[in-house]
Every structure is written in C-alpha cells, then in structure tokens.
C-alpha cells in the first residue's frame, strides 16, 4: 500500500493546517461548460436523448462522458457538458426548473465520466472499452479482483451547486451478470447530501465498514466507509459512505478494496445466489448523482483529471521529497564530477543502510537527481530527471540507484575498495558463506515502496543481491528479483539469457500471502553471472508492501552457479555479499524521469514472519502528526456545525448560555490561530510540534463544548415539547401510575438541572455539566413514555387476541390445532393455525382467536430467546385458510374449507382458465413492534400424488424484501394486476421471484412495486399470479389447493413481537368485484 504519508516534513506542514479551497462558482461553471472551442466535444441533453461521447487524450487514454439525465422527462433551463481539448478537462453545468421526472424521487440525473471499462454490456453495445492503460483494464471477473495489487484512481475536481440541490459526488462503478445485464451499481461517495442510498425499491441495509487510506490534496487520511446495500428492481445498489466528507480537490483512492467489498456484498446478500465468478466488474468513473427535493436544481463541476495511476506518488511530489533536506538528513546528487556518490546511514533502531545513486553507465546528461535519507522516518527518497544522456557502454540500462540493507557489494565492483557493510541485525548478517544459508528455514525480507515514472522510462524495481568468490572477494553473480520489469528480462549481457527452470517462493503483498512462481533467467554478464527471477505476474506496480522469503531464491542461485557447465565452484567457494532494494533503469531514448520512496527495507527476524518492530521516535512522530490532523479536522467540522446551529436557531436561547458558547468559541479561535503559527516551527517537520498539538487540542475541546451546549439546549427545548405531549397522552390513556411516576420524576430532575444552568454566570464551566444532565434526564423521561405509548397498539391487539367469549375459538400457544373447520355466520368455512413451523423453544406469549360475534380473527405473538429447528430468519406463518386445504400429504382426510359455490379449491390447473378474474378480499390491520413480517396472501399447489410443488406469496408488504432461505433464486420480471385499496382501484405491478425451497418445492413471491399499507381493505385479482405460476410449472400436472391470509414472520435476532386483526377475508363472487374501467 502507498505510504508517502510517512514523508511529511515542511511539505506536509503546509498542507496539514490548510485545505484545498474551491474557487468555482456556478456562473464560472456555466461559462466554461458552455463555451466550446474548435476540437472540443460538447454534449447537451434534450428530452428523449441520451448524449454520450468517447474522447481520447494526448497520452492515448480514453474517457466516456455522458449527461445521463435518466429520471428527467422534461424541464426548463439549460445544460452543457464539454471536453476541453487544450486542457483535457471535462466541464458540466445544469440549471433546470419545472422538472418532470420519469419515476419520481429526488434524484434526477447522474452526469458522469467513465475512465476505465464500460457500462454493463446490455447498455453499452459495441462501443470500444474505455481506458488505454497497459497495466490494468476492465471488464474483469469478480473472482480475479483479489489477485490484483492496488488500483489507484485519481480524481481532480471542483464543484458548485445551489442551496436546494442535492448531490452524491464520487466514484461510480458498475458490475454485470454473465448475460451482460446490470447486477451492481456502486458508489464510493466523497460527499452525499442524501445521507445514503435513496430512491430504491427496497430500503438500504448497513452491512459493515471498510477502512481505506485516501490521499486528499497531498495528504493521507484514514477514512472509515460505512457500507450500505439494497436491491433496486433489477440490480443491487451499494454505497460506501465516508465517516468524514472527502473535500473537492485532488483525490487518490485505491478502488480495488471497494470492488472486492462490492462483490462480497452481492455474494453475501441473503437473497443472492450469485458467486464471485459469475460477477464482472465493468467500469470506474466519476459522477454526481444529483437532484432536489423541489422541481429545480443547479450544479456545475470541472473535472480537471480522472484516470488510473500506478501509485498516488507523483513525479512532482517525488522530486520535492527527495530534494528537500531537513536537519539530520543526507542528500546525494550525481554529477559527472561525482559519478558514484554513496553514504552509510544509521537508523533510529541502530540498523544501517548504504545508499548510492549508482549511475554506472552515464557519462553526462542534463537535469537533476537526488537521493535523500530522511532521518525522521528512516526512509530513502530518490528522484531523477535527465535528458541528453551520454552512456559509457551504450544500451538501454544506465543506472541502478539502490539501498543496501544487508552486507556490501563485492569489492571488485567498487575498484577494490571495500565498502562498509550495512545491516546491524543480531539474527542475520552479510557477507555470508553459502554453506551457512541452510541455517535459515526462511529468509524473510520486507520492502515497502512507492514508485512513479515518466513516459518512456524503463525500470526494474525490486530486490538486488550480489554474490562473490570466497578466495578473493571477486564478483560472481548479480541477482534481480523484480516486482515488475519493463525490460521483460535480462538485457545487455554478453551471453544469454537462458531459462533454467522455475521456483516457488512465499510472497506477502499488502498483507495477502501468495505462493508466487518465478521463471529463472541466467546469463553471463562480461565479468559475472546474472540471474533474474521473473514473477508469473507483477508483484507490485506503483507501490507495495512486500515480504518475500528469499531462501528458495538464494538456494537456486547457488545451485545454478555450481551446476554451470563452465563452473568449477563448490558451495564453499561462494559468498552471499549483499541484499538491497534498487531500480535497474534507463530508456529507449536519451532521457529518463522517475522517483521512488523506500519506506522500509529490512530482513525480518526469524520468529517475526512479517511483523514489524516499531521504533519509539517514529511512533512518537506519527502519533503527534495523526492527532494534530485529527484535532484540526474535528475543530473545523464542529466549528461548522456550531455556526450552522447559530444560523438556524428557531428557539430562544437563554442569554447566559449563548454568552457562554460565544466565549468558548472565541477561546477556540485564539488557540487555533496559535497552533497554526506554531506549526511552521521546526520540530519533526513542524506539524508534530507538541505545543501546536496542545493548542489545537484545546481549540478542539473549546469549540466542542460550545457546540455541545448549544446543541443540547436546542434539543432540550425540542424534547421538552415532546415530553409534555407524551405526558398528556399517557395520562389520557391511563398509563400505569408507576410508569407515570418514573417519567415525571426524571422530568422534574431535568427541569431542576436546567434551572441550575440558567442561574450560573456566563462562562461558568458547570453550565456544561448541568445542561448535559438536564438533557440526559429529560431524554430518559421521554424515552419511558415513548416506549410505552408506541407499545399500546400491539398491546391492544394482544388484549383482543387473549380474550375469549362464548362461541370463540382460541389458541394460547403455538402447538394447538383445530379438529374441524370454523364455520362463519354466512355459511362459509375457514381454517386457522399458528403454524410455528421453525420454532422449537422460546419464552413469551402467543394468542390466536376466532371471534364468533364478528367473524373476525386476531393474532398476537411476543417471544424471545427463540430457538429454531432449521436456523434462518423466518420462523412462523400464522394463517387463516379461506379456500381449499393444504397439500394432501399434510392435510389428511379433513374436508377443505370455503363453501362459496362459485369458486372452490382444490382445483386442477386445467380448470383455472374458466375464470377471467379471481377476486380475494382482505380487511386487516398489522402492528409490529419487533421482528420481520411478510403479510398477505399465500397459495399452495400440489402434484398428482398430493405432494407440495409450489408455495406462492402475494404480500401486501414484506420486511424480508423477497424470498429467503431458498436456492437458485431468479427474478421473473413483473406482472400486472388490479387492486382496489380502500375503495380506490389501482393497476399494480408485482415483481416476481422464484427459488427452490429446502422442503423440495418451488417458492414464488410476487411483490408489489410499491408496498401496500399495514392496514386497510384490499381486493385483489390473483388470476394473473396463478396464470404465471402455472406457466412456470407448465411441465407438471398440478392442482391449486388453497388460499390463505398469512404472516410469514421471524427476526434477525432471537425475538419477535407483532399482531394482526383480520376483520374479513374471502373470495368474492363476480357481482361484488370492483368495477373496472
């Protein structure tokens, strides 16, 4: 992973207490987006159009830009999208009013720019794929994402919008199914005015978090992203929501981790049957999901750059870091007069490094080069930019800047001068006789680096080792273990190279351990052997934290030296000289430009196997830097919140409290200014100055106290109103004296604490404590009343279900069953059952009652500590069968229920065509306090032997969001039917799902596109549903056996508490059916 956050110094001091400030205004955005010049590409949306265009940049990479006004049918105003050829920027602007949407909601458009891949294939067609990067391309299989290194996206943008405009700005990615249909719409939000996923078929669910390092305007920030997921008609939607807004400017973010999490989120969804190998990652882009709670919106942005990069490190930053020395640092510079500068440096842990520019093949050149040891972090930075290079021996390889962290190169390489040995480990040292290598089971070497290179530059970064003869210390072999190699193998050798087999070595890349296969090349390089161990795929491109076991590599080198046909060496003749990180580099032209930062290079202790020993001073430095920035960020965030509270005051704030908050704010601003002044004074780079830390911490605490007091006083006033209303309602409902007394006692304590706060002089620190206590007591009092009052509706159903009069039929636990059908006053019969099919144990209450006086039904359950028979989140389906019977193998010889005459079940499927409509009426009320409920119709079908072949749910609403506990789930598309809801006739679309139930029958669900209410009178034509089920099961001889009103229910926890009343439920005769237009 990239870590140039470690290299802060003065360069970071300028950033850490200052922020990127956008100067973009809406008029400027409009002017830029509208004024296309020759060579530019301009798009403009008009009703019915979907403008988009592929554009190519000077470096050969491509972009796809589109306005994507997906939800706008019409509107007044203007919109422009422009690719500016000269600067290769994309500008967008929209200002519309009177917006008429296609599908409702408060999101109208998603103007976006794809910079890698394509949209899902069914939408994209045969357009060329976007990108043009040699090292990465999309589409990519979901099961291949975990094999990637970092995939860094760079986005540089400015944005402006009107106050009423809502926007979710950030990275947008798409994933598709094997047939090219969309499967996943994924947002990595930088900011989101919507606060999460909205305007979807089902509400979102929080499914976890991921933490990612994001580089924001040159600074690394750890950001925690909350993950939301939902289903939206035909695909998943996932959003990664940052815990702190990512401001506009230049952003570098590793999208690979998000893509992995998105695929896992799809795979893990309880209604998903997808596997990673069935999912394809298709695109990466920048965009704004935008709209308004009104019918107008105005938004503009300039996308200065959007692309994939191999590292967040830039050439400019690499140069700045490598060339800017501070006290204790060492900087080397190559020049024709100083061709091979080198220096031994000592780290804070006592280990040593030898660093050298090693421009071994360069005689002269124009430009600059720097190699810097950064003492504050024991890191090494290198940068070179040379043109007109004149070489000593020709070829395309000119230099190998390196950092030796164990041993020293053979003296013959340095004209007979033996350099000091680097290392200083008490468990490992070089030079080492080859016979001693076998003393180590593993030789774990850790390299943490970042690299950036200019166009045309060739590099081979990785581990470099030397071996020498024991007799005279003459060079014997140079060995390269590259992380990647632009040269694609050994170049410039006198003889060879030849492939001499493969080896496997354990490599840990950014925390992921892999067995990597290396192809071994061998050559004779004038004075010594040359070996290169080429990985089957790049280990790390732009950056990486790599730990590699060198033992099998060193063994292979020794083996090949001994086995060479011209060799007479034995193991005793070979010495392992040195171990280094370096970049063998050059160009096909006459110049090269690249840079790197080596954050860490060391041999790990044998027992550590990848753990890193922390250095006290480095920890001290990092802690101060981290906390300084943390306090800086929190100070500004809370100051903004405080000012917003002041601006939007709707309650009168007592004078002493308002004066207190203002006094705290003034104190905070003074401390903040002092911290800013101290940050420029040198101490570990300025930003870690302990005095700066202390002032910034105090500023944060002062503004935090100011904001908390003001916020609590406002909330106290709001809560006081709610408390009074709830107390009045509680007394009117004759709530128990005990509950009322507890609530009123807490309310009185709250009032007493609040009066104490008002009595104190402005600035008294005890005001904070009294206000907090007042709010705490009042929140407790309000909570008591709220809990009891919100429980009343379900308790009212409990009261009804638990009573019993003459003629009633009642169950008081879940294991009770009818002996015969219940006969209603009109002569029709019904069957009721608790049907707790998945529950084996639980504590609580269950009631189910047929009320003879009204021919109605009441059901109530309140169970906790539920233990299930088969697991899962669905446990019970209490139901009232109004026609037919369950499948014969379960029902036995009991008579079916119904008795309508015009319609009776069971019914062979061949007879269903005799009916144009089949109307079912339900007058119901459902109240839920805890758990998940799918309430509505349940139909059963059986085969010729009486075994169930299908259960069919037609819910009025469904907390489960679709079928659960099934396999091979598929989406069937929508069917239309007629519903009369409380006297109003509606055309309703039902989304179909199908899956295989573990009980060995098919499960179907037909879910209303817009869920129906939890209470009301519904008359629904179920004939289209039955027709679709028969069509799906057309190869079977089936019988429709039953219709019931049911509540499929359970919980994600171990308890559920809900109830319902069924005033009426029946199949209606044609003459009572709703009138159709």
966-983: pLDDT as tens digits: 988 888 888 999 999 999
Residue 640: pLDDT band with limits 50, 70, 90: confident
**Is a pLDDT exceeding 80 seen at residue 541?**
no
What would the pLDDT profile of 211-257 be if each residue is shown by its tens digit? 988 888 867 688 999 999 999 988 999 999 999 999 999 999 999 99
Separation CA 250–CA 153 (nearest Å): 10
Query: pTM score, two decimals?
Result: 0.46
**pLDDT at 560 (0 to 100):** 96
Question: Taking the CA atoms of the chain, what radius of gyration do you get in angstroms?
Answer: 36
Separation CA 287–CA 154 (nearest Å): 13
The tokens describing 743, both together, are 């609530």
User: Of the candidates 104, 203, 15, 289, which has an alpha carbon nearest to the alpha carbon of residue 932?
Assistant: 203
The answer to whether residues 825 and 679 belong to one domain is no
Residue 427: pLDDT band with limits 50, 70, 90: very high
208: left (phi over 0), alpha (psi -120 to 50) or beta: left
The answer to whether residues 195 and 335 belong to one domain is no
**pLDDT at 999 (0 to 100):** 86
**Is a pLDDT exceeding 90 seen at residue 671?**
no
Average pLDDT over residues 828-844: 94
**Is a pLDDT exceeding 80 seen at residue 2?**
no
Separation CA 27–CA 33 (nearest Å): 10
**Residues contacting 484, CB < 8 A, separation 6+:** 460, 461, 462, 535, 538, 539, 540, 541
The answer to whether residues 642 and 773 belong to one domain is yes
User: Of the candidates 104, 97, 53, which has an alpha carbon nearest to the alpha carbon of residue 78?
Assistant: 97
**Is a pLDDT exceeding 60 seen at residue 630?**
no
- Whether 48 is covered by a domain: the verdict is yes
**Is a pLDDT exceeding 50 seen at residue 687?**
no
The tokens describing 98, both together, are 């009177």
Residue keyed to tokens 């009138």? 1075
User: Of the candidates 892, 980, 1001, which has an alpha carbon nearest to the alpha carbon of residue 938?
Assistant: 1001
The answer to whether residues 390 and 435 belong to one domain is yes
Separation CA 486–CA 397 (nearest Å): 11
User: How much of the chain, in percent, has pLDDT values that exceed 70?
Assistant: 93
DSSP state of 914: G
The answer to whether residues 634 and 595 belong to one domain is no
- Whether 375 is covered by a domain: the verdict is yes
Residue keyed to tokens 């004075």? 527
Residue 23: pLDDT band with limits 50, 70, 90: low
Name, of 400-404, 595-599, 707-711, the range with top average pLDDT. 400-404
Lowest mean pLDDT among 130-139, 516-525, 683-692, 703-712: 683-692
The tokens describing 600, both together, are 């860490």
**pLDDT at 551 (0 to 100):** 96
User: How much of the chain, in percent, has pLDDT values that exceed 90?
Assistant: 65
Residue 1019: pLDDT band with limits 50, 70, 90: very high
**Is a pLDDT exceeding 90 seen at residue 150?**
no
**Is a pLDDT exceeding 90 seen at residue 902?**
yes
**pLDDT at 790 (0 to 100):** 67
- Whether 259 is covered by a domain: the verdict is yes
The number of distinct structural domains making up the chain is: 4
**pLDDT at 734 (0 to 100):** 77
What is the CATH number for 230?
Answer: 2.60.120.180
**pLDDT at 726 (0 to 100):** 86
Average pLDDT over residues 304-309: 94
- Of residues 736 and 161, more confidently modeled: 161
- Of residues 653 and 432, more confidently modeled: 432
**pLDDT at 643 (0 to 100):** 87
- Whether 546 is covered by a domain: the verdict is yes
**Is a pLDDT exceeding 60 seen at residue 581?**
yes
**pLDDT at 388 (0 to 100):** 95
- Whether 879 is covered by a domain: the verdict is yes
What would the pLDDT profile of 873-889 be if each residue is shown by its tens digit? 999 999 999 999 999 99
Separation CA 130–CA 112 (nearest Å): 13
Q: Are 896 and 1031 in contact (CB under 8 A)?
A: no
Residue 792: pLDDT band with limits 50, 70, 90: low
394: left (phi over 0), alpha (psi -120 to 50) or beta: left
The tokens describing 441, both together, are 């089971």
The answer to whether residues 210 and 326 belong to one domain is no
Separation CA 1030–CA 857 (nearest Å): 31
**Residue 275: HSE in the Cβ half-sphere, 13 Å Cα cutoff:** 3
The answer to whether residues 427 and 528 belong to one domain is yes
Distance from chain centroid for Cα 66: 24
Buried-exposed string 608-633: b where 16+ CB fall within 10 A, e elsewhere: eeeeeeebeebeebbebbeebbbbbb
- Whether 797 is covered by a domain: the verdict is no
The answer to whether residues 784 and 808 belong to one domain is no
Residue 1074: pLDDT band with limits 50, 70, 90: confident
Domain limit, last residue, from 593, 613, 633: 613
> Domain residues for 738?
617-792
Residue 615: pLDDT band with limits 50, 70, 90: very low
The answer to whether residues 775 and 811 belong to one domain is no
Average pLDDT over residues 121-145: 91
- The H or E element containing residue 613 is none
Domain limit, last residue, from 596, 613, 630: 613
Average pLDDT over residues 770-783: 88
- Whether 120 is covered by a domain: the verdict is yes
Average pLDDT over residues 518-526: 95
**Residue 482: HSE in the Cβ half-sphere, 13 Å Cα cutoff:** 27
The answer to whether residues 161 and 260 belong to one domain is yes
- Whether 132 is covered by a domain: the verdict is yes
**Is a pLDDT exceeding 70 seen at residue 8?**
no
**Residues contacting 785, CB < 8 A, separation 6+:** 723, 726, 727, 729, 730, 735, 739, 743
Counting every residue written for the chain, the total comes to 1077
Average pLDDT over residues 989-1013: 93
What would the pLDDT profile of 57-94 be if each residue is shown by its tens digit? 999 999 999 999 999 999 999 999 999 999 999 999 99
Domain limit, last residue, from 613, 636, 668: 613
The tokens describing 338, both together, are 């100083």
The tokens describing 956, both together, are 């009025």
The answer to whether residues 271 and 330 belong to one domain is no
Rounded to the nearest 5 percent, the helix, strand and coil shares of the chain are: 25, 40, 35
**pLDDT at 1035 (0 to 100):** 65
Residue 149: pLDDT band with limits 50, 70, 90: confident
The answer to whether residues 28 and 46 belong to one domain is yes
Average pLDDT over residues 113-125: 94
């Amino acid at each position: 992973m990239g870590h140039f956050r470690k290299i802060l110094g003065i360069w970071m001091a300028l950033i850490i207490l200052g922020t990127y400030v956008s100067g973009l205004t809406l008029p400027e955005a409009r002017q830029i987006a509208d004024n296309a010049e020759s060579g530019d590409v301009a798009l403009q949306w008009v009703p019915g159009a979907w403008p988009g265009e592929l554009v190519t940049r000077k470096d050969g990479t491509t972009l796809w830009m589109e306005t994507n006004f997906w939800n706008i049918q019409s509107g007044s105003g203007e919109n422009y999208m422009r690719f500016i050829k000269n600067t290769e920027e994309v500008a967008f602007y929209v200002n519309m009013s009177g917006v008429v949407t296609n599908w409702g909601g408060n999101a109208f458009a998603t103007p976006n720019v794809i910079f890698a891949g394509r949209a899902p294939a069914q939408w994209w067609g045969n357009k060329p794929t976007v990108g043009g990067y040699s090292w990465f391309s999309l589409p990519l299989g979901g099961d291949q994402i975990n094999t990637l290194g970092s995939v860094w996206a760079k986005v540089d943008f400015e944005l402006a919008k009107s106050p009423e405009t809502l926007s979710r700005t950030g990275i947008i990615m798409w994933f598709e199914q094997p047939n090219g249909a969309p499967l996943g719409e994924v947002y990595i939000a930088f900011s989101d005015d919507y606060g999460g996923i909205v305007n979807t078929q089902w509400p979102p669910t929080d499914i976890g978090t991921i933490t990612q390092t994001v580089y924001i305007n040159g600074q690394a920030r750890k950001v925690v992203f909350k993950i939301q997921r939902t289903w939206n008609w035909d695909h998943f939607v996932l959003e990664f929501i940052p815990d702190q807004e990512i401001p506009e400017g230049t952003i570098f973010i590793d999208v690979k981790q998000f893509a992995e999490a998105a695929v896992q989120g799809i795979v893990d969804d309880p209604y998903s049957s997808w596997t990673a190998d069935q999912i394809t990652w298709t695109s990466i882009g920048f965009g704004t999901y935008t709209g308004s709670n009104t019918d107008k919106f105005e938004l503009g942005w300039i996308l200065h750059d959007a692309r994939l990069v191999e590292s967040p490190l830039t050439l400019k930053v690499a140069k700045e870091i490598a060339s800017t020395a501070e006290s204790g640092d060492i900087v080397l510079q190559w020049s024709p007069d100083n061709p091979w500068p080198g220096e031994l440096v000592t780290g804070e842990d006592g280990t040593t490094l030898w660093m050298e520019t090693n421009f071994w093949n360069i005689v002269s050149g124009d430009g600059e080069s720097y190699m810097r040891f950064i003492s504050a972090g024991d890191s090494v930075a290198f940068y070179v930019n040379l043109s007109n290079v004149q070489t000593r021996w020709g070829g395309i390889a000119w230099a190998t800047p390196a950092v030796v962290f164990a041993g020293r190169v053979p003296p013959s390489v340095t004209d007979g001068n033996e350099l000091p040995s680097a290392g200083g480990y008490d468990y490992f040292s070089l030079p080492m006789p080859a016979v001693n290598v076998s003393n180590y089971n593993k030789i774990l070497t850790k390299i943490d680096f970042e690299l950036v290179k200019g166009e045309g530059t060739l590099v081979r970064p990785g581990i470099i080792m030397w071996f020498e003869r024991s007799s005279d210390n003459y060079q014997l072999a140079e060995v390269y273990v590259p992380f990647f190699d632009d040269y694609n193998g050994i170049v410039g050798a006198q003889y060879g190279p030849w492939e001499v087999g493969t080896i496997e070595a354990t490599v840990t890349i950014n925390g992921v351990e892999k067995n990597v296969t290396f192809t071994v090349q061998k050559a004779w390089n004038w004075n010594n052997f040359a070996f290169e161990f080429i990985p089957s795929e790049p280990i790390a491109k732009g950056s990486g934290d790599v730990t590699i076991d060198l033992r099998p590599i060193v063994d292979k080198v020794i083996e090949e030296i001994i086995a060479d046909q011209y060799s007479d060496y034995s193991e005793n003749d070979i010495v392992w000289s040195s171990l280094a990180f370096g970049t063998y580099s050059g160009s096909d032209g006459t110049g090269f430009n690249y840079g790197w930062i080596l954050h860490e290079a060391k041999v790990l202790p044998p027992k550590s196997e990848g753990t890193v020993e922390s250095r006290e001073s480095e920890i001290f430095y990092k802690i101060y830097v981290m906390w300084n920035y943390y306090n800086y960020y929190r100070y500004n965030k809370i100051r903004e919140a405080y000012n917003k509270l002041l601006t939007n005051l709707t309650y009168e704030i007592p004078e002493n409290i308002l004066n207190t908050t203002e006094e705290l704010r003034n104190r905070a601003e003074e401390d903040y200014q002092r911290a800013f002044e101290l940050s420029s004074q040198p101490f570990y780079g300025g930003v870690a100055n302990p005095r700066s830390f202390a002032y910034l911490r105090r500023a944060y605490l002062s503004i935090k106290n100011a904001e908390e007091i003001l916020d609590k006083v406002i909330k106290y006033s709001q809560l006081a109103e709610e408390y009074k209303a709830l107390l009045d309602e509680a007394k009117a409902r004759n709530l128990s004296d005990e509950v009322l007394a507890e609530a009123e006692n807490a309310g009185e304590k709250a009032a007493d604490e609040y009066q104490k706060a008002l009595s104190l002089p402005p600035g008294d620190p005890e005001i904070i404590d009294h206000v907090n206590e007042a709010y705490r007591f009042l929140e407790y009092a309000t909570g008591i009343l709220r809990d009891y009052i919100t429980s009343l509706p379900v308790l009212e159903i409990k009261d009804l279900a638990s009573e019993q009069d003459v003629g009633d039929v009642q169950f008081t636990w879940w294991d009770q069953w009818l002996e015969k059908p219940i006969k209603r006053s009109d002569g029709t019969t019904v069957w009721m059952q608790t049907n707790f099919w998945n529950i084996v144990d639980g504590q609580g209450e269950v009631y189910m009652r047929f009320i003879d006086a009204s021919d109605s039904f009441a059901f109530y359950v309140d169970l906790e500590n539920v233990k299930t028979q088969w697991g899962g989140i669905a446990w019970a389906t209490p139901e009232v069968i109004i026609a037919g019977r369950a499948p014969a193998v379960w029902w036995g010889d009991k008579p079916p229920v119904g008795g309508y005459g015009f319609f009776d079940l069971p019914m062979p499927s061949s007879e269903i065509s005799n009916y144009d409509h089949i109307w079912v009426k339900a007058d119901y009320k459902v109240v839920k306090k805890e758990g998940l409920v799918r309430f509505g119709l349940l139909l059963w079908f059986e085969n010729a032997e009486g075994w169930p072949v299908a259960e069919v749910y037609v819910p009025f609403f469904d907390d489960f969001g679709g079928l659960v506990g099934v396999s091979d789930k598929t989406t069937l598309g929508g069917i239309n039917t007629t519903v009369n809801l409380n006297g109003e006739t509606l055309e309703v679309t039902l989304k179909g799902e199908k899956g295989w139930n573990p009980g060995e029958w098919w499960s179907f669900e037909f879910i209303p596109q817009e869920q129906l209410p939890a209470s009301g009178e519904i008359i629904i034509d179920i004939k289209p549903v039955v027709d679709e089920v028969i069509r799906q099961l057309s190869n079977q001889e089936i019988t429709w056996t039953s219709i019931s009103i049911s509540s499929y229910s359970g919980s994600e926890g171990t308890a559920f508490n809900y109830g319902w009343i069924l005033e009426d439920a029946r199949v209606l005769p044609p003459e009572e059916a709703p009138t159709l237009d």
